Chain A
Amino acid sequence: MGQYLPIVVLAILAILFGVGSLIASKLLAPRRPNTAKGAPYECGIVPSLEAPERFPVSFYVVAMLFIMFDIEIIFAYPYAVASNSLGVYGFWELVAFSAVFFVAFVYVVARGALDWGPVKKPRRLVSRDGDILSESRSVSTTIRRVGFEGRETREKVSV
């Protein structure tokens, strides 16, 4: 147990340092809270929406997968350290475990548990209403002219 004594002492010292600096900041810093300062910081925009309470299920899947991999790691470390004495039997044990684990991983990947980002929507050139490639559609009807209003008249004036 004595081997861990320095770590405990270091932890105590680090906590003391943190608490000490918090106390120092309390003594030195001004304290004038108001509602604007206490509001959630969103770059000056007044917060309108609540923080999300539901998250994509992928995050939970990743957390569960991590536990699986952690167990694999826990299995691998003792073998790595004691591979000499565990011998052939230990190796096959490791292979069997990894194989089961790998098959599960392949299944999870194939089911799309690790796909992130928005679903890719292939662009349909002919839509149901046929308005994407219609003949009446031209550049001038599609692109909104921004900043062109009033420009012609000014040019006339300058001419």
Chain B
Amino acid sequence: MIALDSLFFENLLWTPLLIVLAKVLVVFVIGLLATLLMVWFERKAIAGMQNRVGPNKTGPFGILQTLADGIKLFFKEDLFPTRADRFVFVVAPFLSFVPAFLSFAIIPLGGDFRDGNSGEVTIFGQVTRIQLADPPIGVLFALAISSIAVYGIMLAGWSSGSKYPLLGSVRASAQMVSYEAALGLSLACVLLLAGTLSTSGIVAAQSTITDWHFVSTGLVPFFIFLIAATAELNRPPFDLVEAEQELVGGFNTEYSSIRFALFYLAEFMNTVTMSGLIVTLFFGGPQPIAFGDFVFDIPMLPNALEGSVWLLAKILVFLYLYVWFRATLPRLRYDQLMDWGWKLLIPASLGWFMLLAAQQLGRRNDWNIFLVTGACIAVLVICYLLLQAAFSRSSSQRERQGTMF
């Protein structure tokens, strides 16, 4: 099933174009507002966890703190390091800021997916989705765009012509590249069960709690995805990119004024987007929580709007989780980070994907499910032993290297 936005099936007319413009504006403003509130939320929640008050002067509960910071940054001097590569230095913030907004476009922000509804709504006589764009490649688009964001960080550090930003950006690119593999492979498990790349299709396939597949995707792929997404976002405990104690501020050390604000905006926008993506892939996006026929229905709200409320609630859980991570977990060392990514997450996600694929194949062809699972587990155990042998060989070789000096 390819779920496309039926808004674009006829010839483009003025009404659809206006709807597109309105949707783009609304999504952009939602993105900006979400970022502003997320920065405030993070500071306030962390302050609470550290027994501080946090921002409390600007507006009620300090909610306008981010806005005040943004306005302040407009009035700050915009410095150009003399040794910077000027063109790349200017382009780099855009390379991380624009993709942050683009990947937000494919997340279903609402709509009624219940009872086999397709999540489409009718606005001014035009049938469309509460989602900016629903391309058939869906999730692949988000992955592609998040790869472009690596360039932003990489080039920012490189073009600064300074020591610490360069170190930060090299770390960042190696880290993001490593965890992108784990991210992609754990995502493949979700796609295998949903059978589509389109985000609205994935959401439509998850209407009740049992369709969230707690065992097949909720157990291993979800946790791998969560960890890999945290690393991809460069958020604690994986924030080696801007490890203040070693690298001053990481890749954005030489950036000041509004250029720095663009990086900051991108970082928090990415956090919001990633939470949205997790909710979309693993927890039914705007679908209400439902057990079988029983649905937690919010009264007095049309179903399409109710989707947005559910989505917001689910996203907030993950945003809080990210803040919680930051307040609780100490930063990893670089070799630990790489070991986690390459030696644990990637093999685990690949193995789990093969297991799921074999199971699905067995179920379709009516093979003996125990036989299939047993064979899979046997193969996986052999692979695990092979990997362990490789690890022990590399570490013994390293010890021999150590004694040579």
Contact = CB atoms under 8 A, between A and B. Distances in A.
B397 A112 contact: yes
A9 to B, nearest CB: 5
Interface string A23-65: 0111011111101011111110001010110010001001101
Interface stretch (A103-111, A129-137, A141-149, A150-158): A103-111
A130 B163 CA distance: 41
B402 A6 contact: no
Given A15-B98, A29-B76, A41-B162, A3 B191 contact: no
Interface in B361-405: 361, 364-365, 383, 386-387, 389-391, 393-395, 397-399, 401-403, 405
Given A49-B163, A77-B191, A119-B405, A6 B105 contact: yes
A22 B91 CA distance: 12
A77 B163 contact: no
Contacts of B80: 33, 38
B163 A52 contact: yes
A91 B358 CA distance: 8
A51 B166 contact: yes
Interface stretch (B21-29, B109-117, B224-232, B311-319): B21-29
Contacts of A95: 354
A73 B188 contact: yes
Interface stretch (B48-56, B133-141, B282-290): B133-141
A63 to B, nearest CB: 6
Given A10-B24, A21-B262, A33 B399 contact: no
B162 to A, nearest CB: 4
Interface stretch (B58-66, B206-214, B300-308, B330-338): B330-338
Interface in B26-81: 27-28, 73-81
Given A49-B163, A88-B365, A106-B390, A14 B132 contact: no
B20 A9 contact: yes
Contacts of A40: 81, 83, 160-163, 254
A59 B167 CA distance: 12
Contacts, number: 249
B81 A38 contact: yes
B20 A24 contact: no
Contact of B140 (A52, A77, A120): A77
Contacts of A115: 335, 394-395, 398
A73 B8 contact: no
A interface majority secondary structure: helix
B350 interface: yes
Interface residues of A, number: 76
B160, B173, B191, B258: which has the most chain A beta carbons within 10 Å?
B258
Interface in B132-156: 132-136, 140-141
B178 interface: yes
A153 B23 CA distance: 81
Contact of A117 (B140, B335, B350): B335
A87 B172 CA distance: 39
Contacts of B192: 79-80, 83
Contacts of A121: 402-403, 405
Interface residues of B, number: 102
B20 A5 contact: yes
Nearest to A69: B181
A98 to B, nearest CB: 6
Interface string A70-113: 10110011011101100110010011001000100111011110
Interface in B89-104: 93-94, 97-98, 101-102
A131 B167 CA distance: 39
Among B7, B80, B101, B360, find the residue whose CB has the most chain A CB atoms closer than 10 A.
B101
A38 B80 CA distance: 6
A18 B78 contact: no
Contacts of B401: 119
Interface in B218-269: 248, 253-254, 257-259, 261-262
Contacts of A111: 394
B174 interface: yes
Contacts of B28: 10, 13-14, 17
- Give the interface centre of A51, A111, A122 by most chain B CB atoms within 10 Å: A51
B174 A59 contact: yes
A10 B162 contact: no
A110 B389 contact: yes
A1 B78 CA distance: 39
Contact of B361 (A22, A33, A38, A88): A88
B205 interface: no
Contacts of B346: 69
Given A11-B98, A11-B102, A49-B163, A79 B386 contact: no
Interface in B173-196: 173-174, 177-178, 180-181, 184-185, 188-189, 191-192, 195-196
29 contacts: A3-B4, A3-B135, A6-B20, A6-B23, A9-B24, A14-B28, A18-B98, A18-B262, A21-B258, A21-B262, A29-B75, A38-B82, A40-B160, A40-B161, A40-B254, A43-B248, A73-B181, A73-B185, A79-B357, A83-B361, A94-B354, A94-B357, A95-B354, A98-B350, A110-B389, A114-B343, A116-B338, A117-B334, A120-B402
